[in-house]
């Protein structure tokens, strides 16, 4: 549980449900809910386990991550590979239980999960790669119900890309010296912490814009607007508690605010759909 940071599933799972409820007009069958949940949990578990395996040697060198289970040898590597295998098997089965398109696209989702961990070795755009991983949640949730793609999940997915990239840039500020020392790429490493905070702010402005566009395209009523306003306030708060000279409250911005944002989007979307119906 510590290794895969299971609680971080709360960032992505509400967006999968949001995509599913949007596709279903506010309704979601029991079994669709179960298989979407299983697909999300197992994909997230496989992705984080792969990330820990790929970064094991780097994590051992970084004082911030050296105490993690794999670098400390608390969990055998073969056990983690076993967890990856079981998770991917359940993920593929879950997508097969949803519909043909979900199963057909599942290898692409696995490829994205696997490729992300290598991006920071090659490009400072790695934050967008992580955003793409989480953007699979609303798009996948929509496809699981509708059996096809649409414009609404694409704009919601774009919002998730920039939302995740924005706070991943913030979090990368904690490792800027380590990244420079070992030749890893990130926005803070490439542009410096001050400019990185501005990059993050631009990402979150784009997030707000794409969320607003999603509401318009989906015809969502006033509860969604209220949720969107609250999301905007939280994004401003997230940037207000960090500065180039004080990153001590990064975990507060990273975990608390962002977990609330994903649930706010789900709750406001559902409220808007149910009010309309």
Q: Tell me what percent of the residues of the chain surpass a pLDDT of 70.
A: 95
CA angle 170/140/95 to nearest 5° reads 125
Give 23-48 pLDDT, tens digit per residue. 999 999 999 999 999 999 999 999 88
pLDDT band at 8 (very low <50, low <70, confident <90, very high): low
DSSP state letters, 210-240: HHHHHHHHHT--HHHHHHHHHHHHHHHHHHH
For residue 200, the domain's CATH number is: 1.10.357.140
Distance of CA 122 to the CA centre of its chain: 21
pLDDT value for 84: 94
Q: How many domains does the chain have?
A: 1
Can you tell me the distance from the alpha carbon of 15 to that of 18, in angstroms, rounded to the nearest whole number?
5
Give 160-182 pLDDT, tens digit per residue. 999 999 989 988 988 889 989 88
Asked, for residue 1, whether it belongs to a domain, the answer is no
Asked, for residue 113, whether it belongs to a domain, the answer is yes
Backbone torsions φ then ψ of 184, nearest 5 degrees: -90, 155
Give 180-201 pLDDT, tens digit per residue. 988 999 999 999 999 999 999 9
Host domain of residue 118: 6-276
């Amino acid at each position: 549980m510590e290794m895969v940071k299971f609680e971080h599933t709360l960032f992505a799972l509400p967006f999968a449900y949001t995509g599913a409820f949007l596709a279903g007009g506010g309704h979601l069958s029991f079994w669709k809910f179960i298989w979407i949940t299983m697909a999300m949990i197992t994909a997230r578990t496989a992705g984080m386990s792969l990330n820990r395996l790929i970064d094991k040697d780097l994590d051992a060198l970084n004082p911030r991550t050296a105490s993690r289970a794999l670098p400390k040898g608390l969990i055998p590597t073969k056990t983690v590979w076993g967890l990856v295998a079981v998770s991917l098997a359940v993920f593929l089965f879950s997508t097969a239980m949803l519909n043909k398109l979900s199963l057909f696209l599942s290898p692409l989702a696995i490829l994205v999960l696997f490729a992300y961990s290598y991006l920071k070795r090659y490009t400072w755009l790695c934050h967008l790669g992580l955003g793409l991983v989480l953007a699979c949640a609303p798009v996948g949730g929509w496809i699981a119900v509708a059996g096809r793609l649409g414009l609404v999940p694409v704009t919601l997915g774009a919002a998730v890309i920039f939302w995740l990239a924005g706070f991943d840039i913030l979090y990368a500020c904690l490792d800027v010296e380590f990244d420079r020392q070992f030749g890893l790429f990130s926005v803070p490493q490439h542009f410096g912490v001050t400019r990185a905070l501005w990059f993050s702010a631009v990402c979150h402005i784009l997030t707000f814009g794409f969320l607003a566009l999603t509401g318009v395209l989906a015809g969502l009523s006033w509860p969604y607007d209220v949720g969107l306003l609250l999301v905007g306030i939280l994004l401003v708060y997230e940037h207000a508690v960090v500065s180039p000279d004080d990153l001590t409250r990064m975990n507060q911005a990273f975990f608390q605010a962002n977990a609330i944002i994903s649930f706010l989007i789900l709750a406001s979307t559902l409220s808007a759909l149910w009010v309309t119906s």
